[in-house]
Amino acid sequence: MMKVVFGIDVSKSASTVCELIGESKNEFEITNDRPGFLQLLKELHVFAIHPQIIFEATGVYSRRLQTFLEDYGYDYIILNPLKAKKEMDQGLRHNKTDRNDAYHLALIQKLYHHPVNQSQAEEYHQLNALSRFYDQLTSDLIMAKNRLHQALQSTFPEIETLFSNSKGNNYWQIIKQYPHCESMIESDKEQIVRWLLTLKGFGNKHAQKTAKKLLKLAHKSYPVVKDDSVETKQARYYADRQLVLSSQRERIIDQMTALAKKLPNRDLEILESIPGFAQTTAVRVLAELGDMRRFSNPNKINAFIGIDPGRYQSGEMDSSLSITKHGNAVARKILYRAIGQIDNAAKTNPCHIADYYESKKRSSQTKGFKKIAIASIHKLIRTIYALIQNDQLYDYSVATHNQKDFCRN
């Protein structure tokens, strides 16, 4: 029977659809709403066997189409836009001015035979949405932190040296209470101590020491503006913003953890068993990679997150390039940071991935540690995939034993 492919070029409010039946094609446009999707459904129902449906991932716009197809039991192929463009450029001959992407997507499917996307439980979609919300809040935190820094340069810049370690909620609470050095000077030490004791983690000794340092910094400071200035109000606002955003991020991780524990597997527990994988890292890796059982091998996950090596082929030349970066950039970033966390944790909790990372760094003749980290991510993904496929928790002795067997073979 002749294969039928539906190529769909998804835009904001409308989509172009190309039905490719053998060499003939039929093109039409639909709106990205219920009437438009029902029009598409009518066209799909014409064929006894479900056509292959292919489109590009375009964020929230393509998500609506995905939901419709899943609701009506249709499989689909969804491509990363960069990968789709590359395949169009390499595999198809078309004019540069030709904008018929729906037709080209259908041709790509006929040429490359991409497998359909494996559907996942709704919980994975919710986890992914929460992970992206967490990422947005992190960006908002960074913006608020930068704006707070700018305001403090006019009101109380020395307070930024109060704590030498990482700044947390207590630091933001102190700035919210004392955003200007004059407000600090106007308070006596015992008044400051009593207020500090209301903060979590402050004992009397720590409060006395902090109050003394705060007063010293306040007397040392020379502000640009007065205590009742707009900049003072900005400093207080952005300190409060840090507290609100940090609290929201914590609630999101709690939601994600509760959701992950409802899944009919122990994937979260498996990820948390890897040294250096705190709960936040574990649940976000799960949210970004989804159900890893849907991948036939670890290389598919590498391609999914865009750390598979690109290749350049021209005539007799065939060389490997740097990673493609075609996939999930958020997952790439989380896993890249995870390598550093694994390496730090290895001081007390050994991991064969940290052993590999340190070995490569020692033997490297250059400072190309980023490439070493990417190679370590490959190893980490293989480890995660094997643990989940076999429903096993991480065990250093088992991992090193398997590593030796792999090297011998």
Tokens 């976000």 belong to 284
Phi, psi of 309, deg, nearest 5: -70, 140
- Can you give the pLDDT at residue 319? 37
| Distance between CA atoms of residues 280 and 170, nearest Å | 21
How large is the average pLDDT for residues 250-263?
97
**What confidence category does residue 93 fall into, taking pLDDT thresholds of 50, 70 and 90?**
low
Tokens 């709690």 belong to 254
Note the pLDDT tens digit of each residue in 195-244: 999 999 999 999 999 999 999 999 999 999 999 999 999 999 999 999 99
How large is the average pLDDT for residues 11-30?
94
Please check whether residue 58 is in contact with residue 37, taking contact to mean a CB–CB distance below 8 angstroms: no
Domains, the chain, ranges and CATH? 4-117 (3.30.420.10), 125-258 (1.10.287.4070), 267-408 (no CATH)
Tokens 């450029």 belong to 89
Note the pLDDT tens digit of each residue in 312-358: 333 333 334 355 566 789 999 999 999 999 999 999 999 999 999 99
**What confidence category does residue 167 fall into, taking pLDDT thresholds of 50, 70 and 90?**
confident
- Can you give the pLDDT at residue 318? 36
| pTM reported for the whole predicted model | 0.83
- Can you give the pLDDT at residue 52? 96
- CB neighbours (10 Å) of residue 47? 14
